Amino acid sequence: MAASLTISRLLAAPRSLSLSSTTTTTTKASLFSAKPFSSKSSYAPFSLKHQTHPKPLKFSTTAAKPISATISVGDKLPESTLSYLDAAGDVQTVTVSELTKSKKAVLFAVPGAFTPTCSQKHVPGFVEKSAELKAKGVDTIACISVNDAFVMKAWKESLKIGDEVLLLSDGNGNFTKAIGVELDLSDKPVGLGVRSRRYSLLAEDGVVKVLNLEEGGAFTSSGADDILKVL
């Protein structure tokens, strides 16, 4: 066998190579003194140009966190003060206990006044179904948002609604934080800051009987029809 072997002959050679007497001492030494192959070696026999390697797949071992809130079914709603503007434009306040004591009340929240889903679907849905809800024994229907009372009044006027649904301001987010449904939108392009998750709840004498909490601003299970189903 010649001292210089071609790649094709090497690949075709049997496992046990027999070196001829013409192989030089240096060649023998280099062959037999080579370190055995290690699985940790970065040895690559060929270098192919334009060869591409897909990026390794990454799998998350962390399970998605369930949607949760501080408040839950069976809990008493925490006391808090909400505000609104009356017909004369004066600021008025109402407490959660005044809205719910000895009453069947539906409270629902939106991420923000004048936002598309809230204005086109969530609030109009409760306005449309308000008569059906009250026929089922609901005394109070109120929408709560982390907006000031002036914004809430302007929003009510733009929606052209009466008193079918109360639009109440939780301007400082006190009630929203008390029931643990804050939604941080400060890193979004529109810069909404800390708002509320979308939800709807049914309370009887201030005790939560039904809680439909959405993921972020999604609108899938907190509409008027979802409350009607359980009445």
Q: Supply the residues annotated as catalytic.
A: 118
CA proximity to 85, closest of 173, 195, 175, 167: 167
Strand pairing partners for 208? 203
CB 85, CB 149: distance < 8 Å: yes
Nearest-angstrom CA–CA distance, 172 and 12: 79
CA proximity to 109, closest of 184, 187, 219: 219
Residue 89 CB contacts under 8 Å (≥ 6 apart), including other chains: 153
